[in-house]
Structure 1
Amino acid sequence: MTNTATRNLPTDSEPQPAHDLPVPDLTDETLAAVTAEVAETAAAYDRSGAVPVRGLEAAHRAGLFTASVGRQYGGPGLGPRETARILIALGEGDPSVALIVANTLAAHATQAANGHWPKDLYDDVLRRSAAGPAPVNAIRAEPELGAPARGGLPKTTVRRSRSGWVLDGHKSYATGGAALAYHVVWAVADEPDGDPAAPRVGHVIVPGDLPGITWVDTWDHLGLRASNTHDVRYEAVELPEEAFVEIPRGADGVYRDPAAMAGPGSFGHPALYIGAARAARQAFREFARTRVPAALGRPIATTERIQSVAGEIDLQIAQAETLLHGALLRVEAGDESILPQLPVIKVAIARSVVAAVQTAVAALGNPALSRRNQLERHLRDVLCVRVHPPQEDAALLAAGRRLLET
């Protein structure tokens, strides 16, 4: 399912990348085939809560796990709009798979842009990625702190050791669980010569198989049940000097959480929920075309009421897709005027996908809420769109202040 003919290879004067990762085939037909394969096991993984191994393997075989790896590293270097298409397709199959892949693609895209990973560690994750699924996730939330985008600093610390650093802390909502090949852990540097009032803050790049990492099975959620978004503890995890990557403070000396900013790369999360809404639309269509009440004597799809509901579902999904792709196209074209509006565009997409699925469920009533009906699962999954930063209230407040202060 990959196509290497269109790879942009380096010229003779450029250094040759150490890795040769596939360029994924993003034709509609191929993406639809991946969606279908991932969807085959989605319901079973939703019920068991296990890591969705088969879905992750399907994404890997299609070259989707490494689609955003930079060309300088031997990857295809696909951008936010291509990434969004991938995540819509995966989200339509299984949003839990899509979320794990989305976080991994975001990590690779950040590395392509900033190159902050130590070379040996990034080479290792690319070697693992060539062999099989190698999920990566930025692990930031904590039980006491809550969502980092709301402000505050983590209690998780790295302290100096003779060989580098020692990591200690407790994190929440670490999507991917024990399947993660690498953790990118948000932490504060505990240094003898540091400023206690303004400690260094950064990300610690941690191989997932190191001693001292313990998973706590806390994830028993309404939706995305197979995402394995458990708690994780780090106890005296030893790391080399280069594993800590500082996040610089602003010119005013204030630390600002990068996760609170909605840039083009953050549109992978709303994209996967568009996929969930598309899956709900298809489930609604199948039910309406096959449901023949005795009193009606024909499929409910032939009634004007259900046809109008189908039109409303389609409207909401079209609105979400147009907002997503339109915003990213404007960014690609260099239109910086849209950048301050990206957070509220994400809010609008979230509202649309939730409305689409809720409309389908409301129209069908009890059958749509049965565990035997796919719509029940799609509803639970799509509601999770609201948890990704920036959350709706924060985005609207920031937009309102910007509007009223100018």
Structure 2
Amino acid sequence: MTTDTATATVLPAPAYDRLPAVTDALAEHAAEHDRDATFPHEGVAAAHAAGLLTATVAARHGGPGAGLADTTRILQALGAGDPAVALVTAMTLFTHAAEARAAHWPAAAYAGLLAESAGRPALVNALRVEPDLGSPVRGGLPATTARRADGADGAGHWELTGHKIFSTGAVALRWMAVWARTDEDPVRVGTFLVRTDTPGIEIRPTWNHLGLRASRSDDVLFDTVRVPADRVAGLAGPGADGGRDVIGGAWNSLGLTALYLGVARTAQRWLTGFLHERVPSALGAPLASLPRFQSAVGEIEVRLAGAERLVTALARAVDDGDQGAAAQAPGAKLLGTRAAIDSVQQAVALIGNNGLTQDNPLQRHLRDVLCSRVHTPQDDSVLLSAGRAALGS
């Protein structure tokens, strides 16, 4: 069990009352990080100072034990400030939440992560996507390979070689959970837990994206990186993972949807401010006084409020153990992210050139919210699954 080694670390409870202040702190630098495509280290530090990076660490490990409903609250607030900070926070929170449900990491490695998390931001992300493989949820085995080796002291270890892409927050990660195959016959697949101060890791600055530019989702190359034998999780034959993790999938779907709803809410707030301040000379009154704009803002409000209620209700139900709610989470992601995208697109269409100029933030919110489409599960997979279920096939 992991509790014996991990309970020495006691982590603070999340400061939920500080969420608005954290949102404002992140928003202060979000535009410059987007412009320069630089990672928001100070924003991650603010999230850590408020106890948000470790909110989902289980009580048995000395953590607050936050559930999915609280996590969606955190991620919406962070997404409203800087979605890049929110995304790397989400990956770390999901890792701790998975460990809260069942032990995956070797005890000593997880205890080390918790101990470090008490004093500084210790970001974690799973590195799975590869240049040739694409998204692993579509099937296939990784090309990244681990070879068994023996050290001079006789202690066995693995040597990891490969290439991962779209590695969110790579420049700031403390641990990389690298999905790789062994060179054995028969082959095994598992997660190799790599500290980022290990020799042989190269972070190649390839991220040149339209949205979420500050996330620095760069390429990571591994050149015979040494991984101790006790830092491997879930090593087994292909397909031996026991099937789809419905609860983990619900965390991913609802948590990321909340993040992008936060982006859309920030866009809405900017829009309403603009409509109050903009007074065309021919009108002699703010645009906010016109029924056409009032109806459009009302449509955005109804759309976002409905999506938020859906995410919150399902997250609470998942926390209560409702398997049916967990199964509905992918559909909620589709509805929620479409609501976020449609709302920001409508805001841009409503005010024309003012919405697309880089002097205003609305174009940044549009670029960021469009990134919601690429996260697993993607819309086509959600619709195919739902359609087959409805057809009984």
Mapped partners of 1:339, 1:17: distance in 2: 30
In structure 1, give the amino acid aligned to 2:228.
Answer: P
Give the counterpart of 2:85 among 74, 93, 97: 97
8 Å CA contact retained: 1:20, 1:75: yes
In structure 1, give the amino acid aligned to 2:281.
Answer: A
Superposed CA deviations along residues 202-258 of structure 1, whole A, max 9, x for unmatched, are 1111001110000111101011000010010000001111212125569x8688575
Does the alignment pair 1:189 with 2:185?
no
Give the counterpart of 2:8 among 7, 18, 39: 18
Change in 2 beyond 3 A, CA 1:248/1:236: closer
**Aligned residue number for residue 172 of structure 1:** 165
Q: CA deviation at 1:188?
A: 0.9
**Aligned residue number for residue 300 of structure 2:** 313
Equivalence map 1:257-272=2 (5 Å): 262-272=249-259
Give the counterpart of 2:200 among 176, 193, 212: 212
Mapped partners of 2:219, 2:302: distance in 1: 38
SS at match of 1:161: strand
Q: CA deviation at 1:110?
A: 1.1
Superposed CA deviations along residues 53-83 of structure 1, whole A, max 9, x for unmatched, are 1111110111101111111111101011101
Give the counterpart of 1:151 among 136, 139, 147: 139
Does the alignment pair 1:53 with 2:46?
no
8 Å CA contact retained: 1:70, 1:112: yes
8 Å CA contact retained: 2:6, 2:114: no
Q: CA deviation at 1:116?
A: 1.7
**Aligned residue number for residue 343 of structure 2:** 356
How many pairs align? 386
Mapped partners of 2:247, 2:219: distance in 1: 21
**Aligned residue number for residue 153 of structure 2:** none
Give the counterpart of 2:263 among 270, 276, 283: 276
Q: CA deviation at 1:26?
A: 1.6
Equivalence map 1:5-404=2 (5 Å): 17-27=7-17, 30-162=18-150, 163-191=156-184, 194-195=185-186, 199-246=187-234, 262-404=249-391
SS at match of 1:330: helix
Mapped partners of 2:312, 2:231: distance in 1: 36
8 Å CA contact retained: 1:149, 1:260: no
Mapped partners of 1:338, 1:31: distance in 2: 27
Q: CA deviation at 1:274?
A: 0.8
Moved more, 110-119 or 86-95: 110-119
Superposed structure 1 runs of 4+ greater than 6 Å apart = none
Mapped partners of 1:253, 1:216: distance in 2: 32
Mapped partners of 1:186, 1:96: distance in 2: 23
SS at match of 1:91: helix
SS at match of 1:262: helix
Change in 2 beyond 3 A, CA 1:103/1:81: same
Change in 2 beyond 3 A, CA 1:77/1:249: farther
Change in 2 beyond 3 A, CA 1:115/1:260: closer
Q: Which runs of 5+ in 2 are unaligned?
A: 151-155
SS at match of 1:293: coil
Structure 2 length-normalised TM? 0.93
Mapped partners of 1:247, 1:309: distance in 2: 53
Question: Quick one: percent identity of the two aligned structures?
Answer: 46
Mapped partners of 1:169, 1:227: distance in 2: 22
**Aligned residue number for residue 7 of structure 1:** none
8 Å CA contact retained: 1:249, 1:256: no
Mapped partners of 1:82, 1:73: distance in 2: 18
In structure 2, give the amino acid aligned to 1:268.
Answer: G
Mapped partners of 1:310, 1:25: distance in 2: 32
Mapped partners of 1:97, 1:265: distance in 2: 16
Q: CA deviation at 1:20?
A: 1.3
Q: CA deviation at 1:346?
A: 1.1
Superposed CA deviations along residues 115-164 of structure 1, whole A, max 9, x for unmatched, are 22122222222222122211100110001111111111110111111121
Mapped partners of 1:310, 1:266: distance in 2: 26
Change in 2 beyond 3 A, CA 1:316/1:70: same
8 Å CA contact retained: 2:56, 2:67: yes
Change in 2 beyond 3 A, CA 1:385/1:220: same
Superposed CA deviations along residues 13-45 of structure 1, whole A, max 9, x for unmatched, are x99921111101223xx2111111111110011
